[in-house]
Amino acid sequence: MSLREEESLPIDDDIMSASVDASGYQNRLFVHQLKIIEVVNTRIFHAIRNLYRAYEQRSRWMREDAKKTAANAIQVG
């Protein structure tokens, strides 16, 4: 495990292994910016994949936290 991996937040396996359709991101500002500075397509794909993974994981954490909060409110209520 590299130092970078040790410092990273965990990503669920299903999110890590999910395939990402990069075509849906082609009009995003960060993709245009990467193209302007002539970043190669594989690196652009990695940026898109990383954005997808971060968004999906953060969304999952928020949903799970909301469920826990609701369950606690029902128990206290």
- pLDDT (tens digit per residue) in 34-75: 999 999 999 999 999 999 999 999 999 999 999 888 888 887
Read off the amino acid at residue 6: E
Using CA atoms, how far apart are residues 57 and 54, in angstroms rounded to an integer? 5
Per-residue confidence (pLDDT) for residue 44, from 0 to 100 = 98
Q: Is the pLDDT of residue 1 over 70?
A: no
For helices 29-36 and 41-76, angle between their N-to-C axes, nearest 10 degrees: 150
Among 32, 52, 34, smallest CA distance to 42 is for 34
Q: Where are the domains of the chain?
A: 22-76
Lowest mean pLDDT among 6-10, 26-30, 34-38, 49-53: 6-10
